[in-house]
Chain A
Amino acid sequence: MRRDEDHSQTREPAWRRYLRFLRPNPAADLDDELRDHLESSIEDLVARGMSREAARVEAARRFGDVSRVREVVQHLDQRYSTQRGRLAILETVVQDVRYAARGLRRSPAFLVVATISIALGIAANATMFSVVNALLLRPIPGANADRLVRVYQNHHSPFQWEELSWLRDHAVSFDYIVGERYQVMSFRPATNADAERARASFVTRGFFPALGVTMATGRAFDSDDRDAAAPPVVVISYAFWQRRFAGDSAVLGRTISVADHPVTIIGVASPAFRSSVLGWAPELFIPHSIMPLLTGQPLAEFGGSFYTTGRLHRGVDMGSGEAELRGLARQLVLTDTARYGGMTVRLDHIRGVNAEERAGFAVGSAFLMTMVGLVLLIGCANVANMLLGRAANRRREFGVRLAIGANRTRLVRQLLTESLMIAAIGGVAGFAVARAITRALPSILPPEAGVDITFLQPDFRVVLFTSVLCLLTTIVFGLAPALRAASTDVVAMLKGSDARVGRVRRRGALVVGQAALCVVLLAVASLFLRSLASSRTVDPGFRADGVIDATIDLSLLGGRANPPATFARIMRETSAMPSISSATLAAVVPLSGSNMESRAIPEGAAVQSDRRAGSMVYFNVVAPKFFATLQTPILRGREFAETDDSTSTPVAVVNETAARRLWPSGDVLGKRFKWGDGRLYQVVGIARDANYVMPGESPKPTIYLPFTQAEHRAEMTLQLRTTADVATMRRTIWALLRDATPQLPPPAVVRMVDDMSITLLPVRLGATFLGTFGALALVLAAAGIYGVASYSVSRRTREIGIRAALGATRTRIIAMVLWENGRRVAAGTAIGLAVAILIGLGLSSILYGVRAVDPVALGGVVVAIATVAAAASFGPARRAANADPVRSIRSE
């Protein structure tokens, strides 16, 4: 109070006295200066005997035009002062940076720990954002994105050939409408070479020009290549050219073999281009007009498999483009209601993955971004913590600077500059790590996966994101400590005494926050781990142990294969082998990541439109002994037999759920349903429910059809129950296939349990990522807890000394220090657990076999954080207990 009064007394007059000094007024100064000149001149002349009047006139004559001089000088002053103002700002910035750099150089340990804390968080965030950016935000790489749109039918399905060609031929709002259909084919670099698998895309007319893709060498297709009678030609991808032909320019004009047909290479696509669909990386681009030749199927039979892209005509917006296509779709429906009924068209921006996958990715990304955000927050808390401690040690320095007139804003700015430098160094390091990780990721995936993730690499958006993140980070960890440092009382600072406890409490709050964030991360990670573990013990409704899978894809041979005969032969030969107790074929291996869905309409049900009636069911196409091989019990009736062939009555096996769904009452055996191929299938058996899409899922209605009767499939998996190991079976199967289909590349032969591991990929990825984040969080939190424990011990040296002098034992002192931090960690843990349980409830759709309140998972987390907290506090506690009481009491 008294000090305030003193202040106001001394400040007011000073303010007035230095008014000009503080806020110079150049115009008034100039007037004063010129007046002085003229008056001096007049006085001089008067002293020499002139009359005052004459002197005034003579002085004015000698001076010249006063107003002109004033104008010129004012202009001059102004120009120099703005120049100086700019320089001054630059100078202060440079000064602040120098000051911050000096301060950081003086405490290298702080600098290293702080920047690492930030760098880890930024690295995790930048990596995740690179993925989000690539999957959700960025247009497809290598193409000219201007006016490019994705065309879907209904929600987000690709088109059939007729639909695509109808729209393309009639639409006027579009410069191009093109389709791409992806398929793996058998490929041989020369007619006598061994067969390999090659990823191919069948592309419709105008594909490359529509996407703005140029050729690295050679030419794109022209209209002559579209003639089905023209010699078949192919454009290859740049990567394939490098990998398979070592970038040899003589490759143009070379004839290779695709699906056992000779085709000629005419061009190599530009290096940046992959496909019109994100994630596809075709090696061969083939005109759709030779699809029938290579695949042996007419275009009409390919179904809805053309992913369609359009380039809008200049000046046409998406809304009117969509309206036109909708109108065209309605016209098409009128031509054949049964076939096209219910078809609508939707346009969508080309950004990241296709619309059908986007929702899933968006949710997953949001979740993981939140988690990495938590890691960064923990890092920020660490740095804020250290900055508070640093500010405490530099109190005297700040006090001196404030006392000699440094202003507080300047001080805050300097401290923020220091924080910004930490964030910037951390940001650059973090970005470098993220870039390295995204670069390394594609090499982790096996090349056979055929999935291209080279597009994950960060672009300007990621740089921008990281920069903004650094700024935010600076504010989060730097602003509060800076404001605090500058707002403290000068006198107290200089004396070096500080009676307030707020500082300790604030840092304690940071520990609570860190513990909470850390527990959230660890708990969610352990839920994933537990789910992963329990998925191994869940009963899927079949036995995968002892089953070996060989996926045989006759579509690689296109029209040259005769799937029904070939598969029948393979079945016959494998069944006869003594080491194989049971052999079957399945179009889809359950729990292997793919599935098939279609509509079944019970016979006699009221039908208005085929697109609405009946029920959507999962289905699989299998050979006899499927249920025997997988050991799924048939509850009633029978499973398929050799006698169910193309000439006999179509039959089906349904699972319990499908039976209930399609026929809620009455005996299901002998009932018939209408299938998508237009035929009526009769139910001959009811199988026990088994998992199909996800382990531990709620039962899905599933229908099984015999491969001899259902629409034939070129790709099926041979499933063998055997006691032999994989290596032996691989040799056996390869030998068998070489005899049956010599042009076929050798198939992958794996254990069924390995095939199934793909369904666990999201959970495994989740467990890996979150486990890593959790571990990071734990390390960062340990550093934070240690810091606060050390600080609080150093502040309580005297108190602890007194306690020791009064007879407190070492154990008591250690316990006291441990408890001080333990309390905060416990509070944080409680908050963290509550949040983790909420998140766990939200994740219940991906996490199976584990509940949100999983005692093992959550208990483990509590033990982990408690152990780490105790370990981190123990060092400082022991130091406190070992200190010499006499010296401690004398300190300060």
Chain B
Amino acid sequence: MAADRDVDLIQGTLNVLILKTLSQGPMNGYGIARFVREATAGGIEVEEGALYPALHRMEHREWIAAEWGVSENNRRAKYYRLTPLGRRMLRARTESWERLVDAVGKVLYAEPRRA
């Protein structure tokens, strides 16, 4: 149970990170991984392979859409982009994330009260 919830949390976080990344513009899987790594300056260490289940799941849910193109080195590459639905999801998730951070922060930094 607890482990499952951890997975959910991680997955949910990963989703938000991907959506945020794609809000900059279309990108392939590696592009997303590099952006996340650089933006967090190594603060979040994710196996890059873990991106793909999340990407495909969100594609099926139509939060993101994919298109096949050709990379600079002439390889077939799949480029993901945000759909309007994905944009709404990003906004909703960002707000709830902020509320969570805010709430957790309040608890963690609260002044101990006297009885």
Contacts and interface: CB of A to CB of B under 8 A. Distances in A.
A49 interface: no
The bracket for how many chain A residues form the interface is 20 to 34
Interface stretch (B1-9, B48-56, B101-109): B48-56
Contacts of B34: 44
B75 A39 contact: yes
Interface string A38-54: 01110110000000000
A36 interface: yes
B77 interface: yes
A864 interface: no
A41 B52 contact: no
B75 to A, nearest CB: 5
Contact of B56 (A39, A62, A76): A76
Given A63-B47, A63-B48, A80-B60, A40 B30 contact: yes
Contacts of B77: 32-33, 36
Interface size class of B (residues with CB under 8 A): 20 to 34
A77 B56 contact: yes
B49 A68 contact: yes
Residue among A36, A43, A64, A77 having the largest count of chain B Cβ atoms under 10 Å: A36
A313 to B, nearest CB: 58
B71 interface: yes
A40 B56 contact: no
Interface in B18-63: 28-31, 33-34, 47-50, 52-53, 56-57, 60
A69 B31 CA distance: 18
Contacts of B33: 37, 41, 62
B71 A69 contact: no
B53 A73 contact: yes
Given A37-B33, A40-B28, A80-B60, A66 B78 contact: no
A185 B74 CA distance: 103
Contact of A39 (B48, B57, B73): B73
B114 interface: no
A246 interface: no
Contacts of B75: 32, 35-36, 39
A34 to B, nearest CB: 7
Given A39-B73, A41-B30, A69-B53, A32 B48 contact: no
A884 interface: no
Interface string B64-88: 0000100101011110000000000
B-side interface mostly: helix
A80 B71 CA distance: 28
Contacts of B56: 73, 76-77
A65 B71 contact: no
Contacts of B30: 36-37, 40-41, 44
Given A37-B30, A37-B48, A32 B73 contact: no
Q: Main secondary structure on chain A at its contact with chain B?
A: helix
A74 to B, nearest CB: 9
A641 B11 CA distance: 113
B29 A33 contact: yes
A80 B60 CA distance: 7
Contact of A41 (B48, B50, B53, B60): B48
A545 interface: no
Nearest to A41: B30
Given A39-B73, A64-B48, A32 B78 contact: yes
Candidate in B49, B71, B76 with the most chain A CB atoms within 10 angstroms: B49
A62 B71 contact: no
A72 B53 contact: yes
Interface in A325-361: none
A467 B75 CA distance: 58
Nearest to A39: B75
Given A35-B75, A44-B34, A62 B53 contact: no
Which one of B47, B48, B50, B73 has the highest number of Cβ atoms from chain A below 10 Å of its Cβ?
B48
Residue of B30, B71, B73, B76 contacting most chain A CB atoms (<10 Å) = B30
Nearest to B76: A32
Contact of A37 (B29, B50, B60): B29
Nearest to A34: B52
A633 to B, nearest CB: 99
A9 B114 CA distance: 88
Contacts of B52: 33-34, 69, 72-73
B60 A62 contact: no
B48 to A, nearest CB: 5
Contacts of B71: 36, 40
Contacts of A68: 49
A22 to B, nearest CB: 15
Given A36-B75, A37-B48, A73-B52, 9 more contacts: A32-B76, A32-B77, A33-B29, A36-B29, A36-B71, A36-B77, A40-B30, A62-B48, A66-B49
Interface of A: 29, 32-37, 39-41, 43-44, 62-66, 68-69, 72-73, 76-77, 80, 84
16 contacts: A33-B29, A33-B78, A36-B78, A37-B30, A37-B48, A39-B73, A40-B30, A41-B30, A63-B49, A64-B49, A69-B49, A73-B52, A73-B53, A73-B56, A76-B53, A77-B60
